[in-house]
């Protein structure tokens, strides 16, 4: 069984600020940091740091060598990564004194996928392999359809939620990992239990993990429900916390852990991530999580 992540890679420009800027305001930033991130890359690195062999497929632009190097440094397989003309995906991230963030996302090379590239990568994968997806790349509907035809197990983090997801056949997803905002955007419900109820009605076969920030997370599959609290820490930067949770929860399935064990490990890993600045570099190794 192989694991493929078809996902974004971003250069994150991070500005520490006193508070997240409001319309019309100008606020000085104390510093600027250039980090490797992107939901796709963060999730691949979380999987790799959890001990999973993961292939990352994605596109970087002319200035994106640092993103490829970051994969190599973290044992993420780069066989399917391609460098193309033009700019890489990048973000402008404000991080306030409580570790909360606000992100402007420029898609760049992440939005230049072609059907030929997708089909070429998928031709090396087969029934039973795991495919990890987020929503920072184009042609997500095509990736889902083609992977489903092959019988791959498709895991989707529908983040950031936008109208392109409405073109996707989400009935083909085996496991959703989403937060309460995305849950509300998909179901129209605000209450976590109602969100889950609605998701189970829409996607009766899917397993669902709903993350609730400081309220922890809930797993639901048909009538089976598990709840997990958070591990309280001093948050410095919440960037990549959700991606860490996703990567570690998927790793727990691959390792054959029970759902409660997987939720607990994912919660521990993401609680460590928020104590550190940055994205890929803030994700802990499995041995730190276990300790
Ligand atoms: O989930 C965090 C990631 O979202 C950041 O690394 C940034 O690149 C944005 O894509």
pLDDT at 100: 87
d(CA 120, CA 117): 5
Tell me the backbone φ, ψ of residue 266, rounded to 5 degrees: -65, -40
pLDDT at 99: 85
With the CA atoms of 128, 132, 137 and 143 taken in that order, what torsion angle do they form, in degrees rounded to the nearest 10? 10
CA of 37 to the centre of ligand 1 (A): 5
Class of the CATH domain delimited by 3-8+38-85+110-290? alpha beta
Tell the residue nearest (CA) to atom 10 of ligand 1: 38
Atom of ligand 1 nearest to the CA of 10: 8
> Exposed e or buried b for every residue in 173-187, given b needs 16+ CB within 10 A?
bbbbbbbbebbbbbb
pLDDT digits (tens, 9 = 90+) for 172-210: 999 999 999 999 999 999 999 999 999 999 999 999 999
Q: 276 exposed, middle or buried (CB, 10 Å; 0-12, 13-18, 19+)?
A: middle
* Mean pLDDT computed over every residue of the chain: 97
Atom of ligand 1 nearest to the CA of 243: 1
Domain ranges of the chain: 3-8+38-85+110-290
Tell the residue nearest (CA) to atom 6 of ligand 1: 37
Q: Per-residue pLDDT averaged across 30-57, rounded?
A: 97
Q: Per-residue pLDDT averaged across 106-124, rounded?
A: 98
Output the six-digit token pair for 186: 């998909």
Give yes or no for residue 158 having a pLDDT over 90: yes
CA of 239 to the centre of ligand 1 (A): 7
CA of 201 to the centre of ligand 1 (A): 30
Three-point CA angle 234, 235, 240, nearest 5°: 145
pLDDT at 164: 93
Output the six-digit token pair for 220: 């639901």
Q: Per-residue pLDDT averaged across 127-145, rounded?
A: 98
Atom of ligand 1 nearest to the CA of 38: 8
Give ligand 1 pocket residues (Cβ under 6 A): 10, 12, 37-39, 42, 91, 103, 105, 136, 239-240, 242-243, 279
276 DSSP 8-state letter: S
pLDDT digits (tens, 9 = 90+) for 217-274: 999 999 999 999 999 999 999 999 999 999 999 999 999 999 999 999 999 999 999 9
Give yes or no for residue 80 having a pLDDT over 90: yes
Please report which confidence band the pLDDT of residue 98 belongs to, taking 50, 70 and 90 as the band edges. confident
């Amino acid at each position: 069984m192989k694991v493929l992540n078809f996902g974004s890679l971003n250069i994150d420009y991070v500005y520490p600020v006193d508070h997240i800027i409001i319309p019309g305001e100008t606020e000085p930033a104390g510093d600027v940091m250039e980090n490797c991130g992107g939901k796709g890359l963060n999730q691949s690195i979380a999987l790799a740091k959890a001990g999973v062999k993961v292939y990352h497929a994605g596109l970087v632009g002319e200035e994106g060598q640092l993103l490829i190097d970051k994969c190599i440094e973290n044992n993420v397989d780069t066989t399917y990564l391609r460098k193309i003309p033009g700019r890489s995906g990048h973000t402008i991230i404000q991080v306030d004194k409580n570790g909360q963030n606000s992100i402007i996302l420029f898609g760049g090379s992440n939005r230049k996928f072609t059907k030929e590239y997708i089909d070429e990568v998928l031709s090396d994968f087969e029934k039973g392999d795991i495919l990890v997806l987020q929503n920072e790349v184009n042609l997500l509907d095509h990736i889902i359809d083609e992977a489903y035809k092959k019988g791959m197990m498709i895991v989707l983090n529908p983040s950031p939620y936008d109208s392109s997801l409405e073109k996707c056949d989400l009935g083909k997803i085996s496991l959703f990992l989403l937060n309460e905002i995305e849950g509300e955007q998909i179901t129209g419900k605000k209450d976590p239990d109602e969100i889950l109820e609605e998701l189970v009605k829409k996607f009766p076969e899917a397993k669902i993990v709903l993350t609730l920030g400081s309220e922890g997370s809930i797993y639901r599959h048909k009538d089976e429900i598990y709840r997990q609290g958070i591990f309280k820490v001093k948050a410095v930067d919440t960037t990549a916390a959700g991606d860490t949770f996703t990567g570690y929860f998927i790793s727990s399935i691959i390792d054959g852990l029970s759902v409660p064990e997987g939720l607990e490990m994912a919660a521990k890993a993401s609680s460590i991530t928020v104590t550190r600045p940055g994205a890929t570099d803030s994700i802990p190794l499995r041995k730190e999580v276990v300790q």
